[in-house]
Amino acid sequence: MTSTATAHTNIALIKYWGKKDAILNLPTTSSLSLTLDKFYTTTTVSKNDSIDTLILNGQNVDARKIQNFLNILRDELGTFDQLTITSENHVPTSAGLASSASAFAALTAAVTRELALDLPNETLSRLARRGSGSASRSFYGHFAVWHEGIDDKSSFAESIAAPDMPIALVVAEVSSETKKVSSTEGMQRAMTSPDYSSWIQNSAKQFLDIQNAIITSDIEKIGYIAEKNALDMHALNLTARQQPFTYFTQETQQILAIVSDLRHKGILAFSTMDAGPNVKIITTLNEAPTIVNHLKKEMPHLKVQTAASGPGVTYD
C-alpha cells in the first residue's frame, strides 16, 4: 500500500525564533502564520524491508534527518516498518521559504495515513513539530496559530477563524553567497541577545494585536505588525552576545528600501524575512502586480513570485 499527502508551506507573520526545549522543539513564544497556495510538498510513503529511504525530487538523498524523525514517530505511535519516502517539493529550495514546514507536515500526514491512524490535525501538528517547529502550522489553510504550550502535549497549532481576505505575499528571491546559519543555530545565537526577554514580551502583544487585525480583515495592520515582528527578530541576530550575525545582504536592504518607498507612495506593502536573505512582501492581490513590476524594474535579476492564501493538508 502507499499513502500520499500534500502540505503547503506557511510564512510566519509572528515568528518562532527560540526554543525553550530543543529536543521537543518547544518554542519560547506562540507564533502565527499564513499558508501559501503556490508552494507545497507532496509526499508518498510505502513500506520496504530494508531501511528508511528518501527520494526527493527524483534523487536519492541523505535521509538521516528523516530517519530521526521517523524514529520519533515510532516512539509516539508504536513501531512500524521501514519506509520509502518519495517527496516532490514545489518550494524553491533557495527561496528562504520554510520548505521544511511543508515537508514535515506532508510526511507526518502520509505516514499516519499509511498506518491507518485517523488522527486530528492538532495531534498531527504536535507530531510534525518534532521534525521542524514551523511544520506544526502547515496542516491548516489560511491563518494558523501555534500555541507555545508548556510541554509536548500542549504545544501544537490550530486554525484561527478568519474572514476571507485578498491578502497576498510577493516573494523576492535574492541570490546569496553568504554562509547559511540554520534556523536552530540562529535561534541559539539570538537567545543570547540582551534584548531577548523584551522580544518575548513584545511578541506576546503583537500576537494578540495581529489576531484583532485578522478578524477585521485589516491587511495594512497585519502587514505593519508582521514587519515590526520580523525586524525585531532580525535585530536579535545582530545583538546576539554569542556569534552575532545577519541574514541580510545588500540586496535584502535594497528590497526593504523599495518596499518602504512604495509605502510612502501609498502602496500597501510590508516586509517579512525568515532564516535567509529573501524578502516576502505582504500586500493585497490588487496591489501585488504593482509591487512585482516595480521590483523587476529596479532589480531586473530578482526572481519574484506572488502567492495567495493557501489550503490545509490534503490526501490523495
Q: In what order do the strands lie in the sheet with 303-308?
A: 270-272, 279-284, 167-173, 303-308
Residue from 274, 279, 280, 305 that binds ligand PMV (CB under 6 A)? 274
Burial readout 209-221 (b: 16 or more C-beta within 10 A, e: otherwise) = bbbebbeeeebeb
- Whether 169 and 281 have beta carbons less than 8 Å apart is answered as yes
List the one residue out of 104, 23, 27, 20 whose CA is nearest residue 66: 104
Binding mask 19-38 for ligand PMV (x = CB under 6 A): ------------x-------
Binding mask 87-106 for ligand PMV (x = CB under 6 A): -----------x-x------
Residue 102 DSSP code = H
**Contact call for residue 133 and ligand PMV (CB under 6 A):** yes
Residue from 3, 102, 121, 134 that binds ligand PMV (CB under 6 A)? 134
**Contact call for residue 8 and ligand PMV (CB under 6 A):** no
C-beta of 46 vs 94, nearer to ligand PMV: 94
Q: How far is the CB of 32 from ligand PMV (least distance, A)?
A: 9
Strand intervals (E) in the chain = 2-14, 19-21, 26-27, 31-48, 53-56, 59-61, 82-89, 143-146, 157-159, 167-173, 270-272, 279-284, 303-308, 314-315
C-beta of 114 vs 274, nearer to ligand PMV: 274
Q: How far is the CB of 171 from ligand PMV (least distance, A)?
A: 13
Residue tagged 494578540 (cell numbers)? 208
Q: Contact region for ligand PMV (CB under 6 A) — 58-66, 130-138, 153-161, 216-224?
A: 130-138
**Contact call for residue 237 and ligand PMV (CB under 6 A):** no
Q: How far is the CB of 204 from ligand PMV (least distance, A)?
A: 15
Query: How far is it, in rounded angstroms, from Cα 209 to Cα 145?
Result: 13
List the one residue out of 226, 259, 209, 182 whose CA is nearest residue 19: 182
C-beta of 35 vs 134, nearer to ligand PMV: 134
CB-based contacts of 47, cutoff 8 Å, min separation 6: 1, 80, 81, 82, 83, 84, 114
Q: Contact region for ligand PMV (CB under 6 A) — 129-137, 147-155, 203-211, 236-244?
A: 129-137
Residues that bind ligand PMV (CB under 6 A): 12, 15-16, 31, 98, 100, 132-134, 183, 274-275
